Structure 1
Amino acid sequence: MSDLQVLQDKLNYDKTFDCVQCGYCLPACPTYETMERETHSPRGRINLVKMVAEGKATVNDLESPIEKCLGCMACTTVCPTNVQYGEILEGTKEVIDEQKEKTKRRQQMERFLFDEFFPSKNWMDTLGDASWFYQKSGLQTMAQRTGASKIAPLHIEEFEKVLPEMPSPKRRRDRAKRYIRKRPSTAKVAFFTGCIMDSVFFYSNENTIELLLRSGAEVLIPEEQSCCGALHAHTGKKESAKELAKQNIDAFEKENVDYIINNAGGCGAKLVEYDHLFEKGTEWHQRAVRFVEKVKDISEVLVDLDHLDFQKPLNKTVTYQPSCHMTNVQGVTDAPLELIKKIPGVQLKELDRPDFCCGSAGIYNVVNYEESMDILDVKMEDVCGVAPEGIVTSNPGCLLQMKLGVEREGLNDKSDAVHLVDLLMEADPQ
């Protein structure tokens, strides 16, 4: 096989011909709307991939348009020819990652982040514990008063303002591995805690467990689970994503559960695509298919079990900002809305464009901050038109991004962003 044929295979060149350049994707693409450039639209990116695969352009020509893509998959929901944009995107990112010239320092940083930091529960606990100390010791207040946080890289000054309250190290480590409250249980489930969810949104994870228990489920938390691999796949590190998938499949199939629960739209989207990582007919593909069949968002399972009776009226107006990956990849749309509508006293006002991305997209808002803020501004214009007292989300990245949007708009005294499970617990379900 020639070098060009190898490149075409990695770029999923054959799939680019499904795109007929009709332009249906243009109104759905956030980066096309904010950047107003054809190269930053889905069809423009596909055309560039095709040109590179044919030797008419270089991989360098692809780098900026591909790295500026949110990967929100909104284009796939409107595409009349069912273009597999996600496969083209991840294949292209893998090629870019392989051919990109990197300094030794960047190589070391990537190895640390993707091979050691995100897959490690110890590192995630350390991140959570350090954030707790930063909040409780007064360092956060001091840094904000003196302006010291402004010298931090990657706009950390903005994000640290909207971090949720962190649990103590003791509370984090005292969490059990198995919970059961009602016998017989309504279902036996395993909870995928997620790396960022468990380190930064620990209380939301606790509320997820509690909601499942109040629904009568038995809840297991496999100790050997790891990062879902979404960040790895989205940055072109497919082999690392495969290894993490194998680790998670192995960890969860040891327990004979009815569901594998997640509460993060981005993580869930990767989990339900594990079978795409392996060649059909192989043992790992078969195991991945069985794994995927059990993966469910927390909202779907709570609706299916239907055992929650909300006791406390909240008497507030809320809007729902759906996770792109939960909507466009997992196909979960109705369950969160159904749960919100069950809460007494809550008035749900839907956004004009709920499916428009908030600009978080994993770590997009960190590595492409300015572009992300342009997208967030469009989203917040929609939110301000609804003027809710609460913005409900279903993904940690979306939650931080919407909190940042509230902060940027100066709406802290009027509105806040909250994860769906936290809103449900606030209504005292029994």
Structure 2
Amino acid sequence: MITQEQQKEIQQKFRDRMDEDQLLNCMRCGFCLPSCPTYIESGFKESHSPRGRIALMKAVVDGVIEPDEDVERSLDLCLGCRACEAVCPPGVQYGHLLEEARDIIQQSKKKKQSLPVKVIRKAVFEELFPHQNRMRALTGLIGFYQRSGLQKAAHATGALKLLPKNLSSMEKVLPNIPKWKEMKQRPEHLMPKAEVKKRVAFFTGCLMDTMFMETNDATMKLLQLAGCEIVIPQDQVCCGALHGHGGEKEMAKDLARRNIKAFEDLHADYIITNAGGCGAYLIDYGHLLKDDPEWAERAAAFSSKIKDISAILVELGFHKRKLSLPEQVVTYQDSCHLRNVMKTSSAPRLLLDAIENVEFREMKEADHCCGSAGIYNIVESEMSMQILDHKMEHAKATHATTIVTANPGCLLQMKLGIERAGLSGKVRAVHIADLLIEAIGEKVPV
């Protein structure tokens, strides 16, 4: 609950920190409405649209309304997919407004939050994600649970029924976690397996280099085959997206500075990512640190080098190689941030369309969010599952046996969708890097 004292503090910070030019740039035209999942799924509720949320932010700045629980709820329910930005005629940077508003509210409420909330937020934002060794330890425990027989026992005894339905379903779709020792033994420098065309740095990510380590290995193998020398700085950290989206902007800035420092002297042509959510936040470092005189220029230089794995593969002509798979129908679910922030949508489709024996079928509203959105599918389960079930209706209409995506959260969400739709064993979800490794006939690890 937001107290009157907190409301006054929030209102003043809205006046001081919100970009009024961006708020005024919204023409209320409504072009954003058809692209907003929460507006559609809420029954066309104006306060759950980008236009409506901007109006609420502006009303708080102007003192027309109090920043109460209804305002906070509207902002919390937003997926942050930024699809509205792609269709906005004046180019309102809605995502930046949303992050700023969430940070103001969170920091103003922080002192009076309950002890359990403080402990959980501190554990996640400060003690876990910024420390890759702790991420390895946590995911290593999940791996032990999978390999030790505990998982089989949990399924056999029905213990998972004690969990909320979506969490028990998520447990079923987790990838096989590598051993802790394997997660520790990561490469730092790799030479290409062809003529050197580019020198690239690889952003490994926190979850991608633990829970999805095989996909990272596939990504590096693809880069090698495409002619890339790869450097992988060991002092890189979490991209900070979870912090920035969760109202912990100062922590996100600290992580950004650490990553910039880790990558800036590597003389790389590009910094490659294979997770749309991470890539979008990395490419936004220039905005995140624009008011920091020491880091603004360095952040802009860093952001200018960010490129998705699919984009560099197309640039280097990988789609012209012999790619082949057993006959199948494939569809593609866009990563919102890869499409809307990194502006990468044609490259993945070009790669998929180049695979022999594969019929690529475009999914209706493939550019609409799947409902994953970081931890949104956990904290806003009802809305997330509503969005996912509609997404699966479109996926089923393609009759695809393979659903491809380019972000770990989207991948797990689509696997969950397959489970919920009763399609397990008939349809699979796969990261594009893993599918391309299959298509080239190569094996990982590197």
Q: TM-score range by the shorter chain?
A: over 0.9
Please give the alpha-carbon distance, in whole angstroms, between the structure 2 residues aligned to 1:246 and 1:49.
29
Letter in 2 for 1:84: Q
* Residue aligning to 1:113: 124
One of 84, 88, 94 as aligned partner of 1:85: 94
Letter in 1 for 2:341: V
Query: Which segment is superposed worse, 310-319 or 216-225?
Result: 310-319
Deviation at 1:150, TM superposition (A): 2.7
One of 402, 416, 419 as aligned partner of 1:390: 402
Deviation at 1:413, TM superposition (A): 2.2
Letter in 2 for 1:19: C
Counterpart check, 1:30 vs 2:42: no
What per-residue deviation string (whole Å, max 9, x for no partner) do you get for residues 312-357 of structure 1?
4331100000100000000001110111111111110001211111
Q: Structure 2-normalised TM-score?
A: 0.92
Please give the alpha-carbon distance, in whole angstroms, between the structure 2 residues aligned to 1:390 and 1:143.
29
What per-residue deviation string (whole Å, max 9, x for no partner) do you get for residues 261-308 of structure 1?
100000000000000012358231100111111110001111112246
Deviation at 1:81, TM superposition (A): 2.1
Please give the alpha-carbon distance, in whole angstroms, between the structure 2 residues aligned to 1:405 and 1:107.
32
Please give the alpha-carbon distance, in whole angstroms, between the structure 2 residues aligned to 1:14 and 1:79.
15
Counterpart check, 1:338 vs 2:350: yes
CA contact (8 A) 1:314 1:343 kept: no
What per-residue deviation string (whole Å, max 9, x for no partner) do you get for residues 192-212 of structure 1?
111111221110001001111
Q: Structure 1-normalised TM-score?
A: 0.96
One of 381, 399, 405 as aligned partner of 2:417: 405
* Residue aligning to 2:26: 19
* Residue aligning to 2:4: none
What per-residue deviation string (whole Å, max 9, x for no partner) do you get for residues 202-231 of structure 1?
100010011111112111111110010111
One of 327, 340, 359 as aligned partner of 1:328: 340
Aligned length: 429
- Cα RMSD of the aligned pairs, angstroms, is 1.8
Please give the alpha-carbon distance, in whole angstroms, between the structure 2 residues aligned to 1:387 and 1:154.
26
One of 45, 49, 60 as aligned partner of 2:57: 49
* Structure 1 gap ranges (5+): none
Please give the alpha-carbon distance, in whole angstroms, between the structure 1 residues aligned to 2:441 and 2:341.
29
- State the secondary structure of the residue aligned to 2:130: coil
* Residue aligning to 2:160: 149
Letter in 1 for 2:431: H
One of 243, 264, 269 as aligned partner of 2:275: 264
Letter in 2 for 1:323: S
One of 349, 353, 371 as aligned partner of 2:365: 353
Percent of aligned pairs with the same amino acid = 47
What per-residue deviation string (whole Å, max 9, x for no partner) do you get for residues 35-71 of structure 1?
1211111111111111111222222231110000000
One of 129, 135, 138 as aligned partner of 1:124: 135
* Structure 2 gap ranges (5+): 1-7
Deviation at 1:95, TM superposition (A): 1.4
- State the secondary structure of the residue aligned to 2:325: coil
* Residue aligning to 1:310: 322
Please give the alpha-carbon distance, in whole angstroms, between the structure 2 residues aligned to 1:186 and 1:50.
49
Letter in 1 for 2:77: K
Please give the alpha-carbon distance, in whole angstroms, between the structure 1 residues aligned to 2:291 and 2:104.
22
Query: Which segment is superposed worse, 414-423 or 52-61?
Result: 52-61
- State the secondary structure of the residue aligned to 2:304: helix
* Residue aligning to 1:40: 48
C-alpha change, 1:348 and 1:59, in structure 2 (3 Å) is same
Please give the alpha-carbon distance, in whole angstroms, between the structure 1 residues aligned to 2:89 and 2:197.
41
Query: Which segment is superposed worse, 116-125 or 264-273?
Result: 116-125
CA contact (8 A) 2:404 2:430 kept: yes
Counterpart check, 1:378 vs 2:390: yes
Query: Which segment is superposed worse, 374-383 or 169-178?
Result: 169-178
CA contact (8 A) 1:179 1:220 kept: yes
Please give the alpha-carbon distance, in whole angstroms, between the structure 2 residues aligned to 1:300 and 1:121.
27
- State the secondary structure of the residue aligned to 2:201: strand
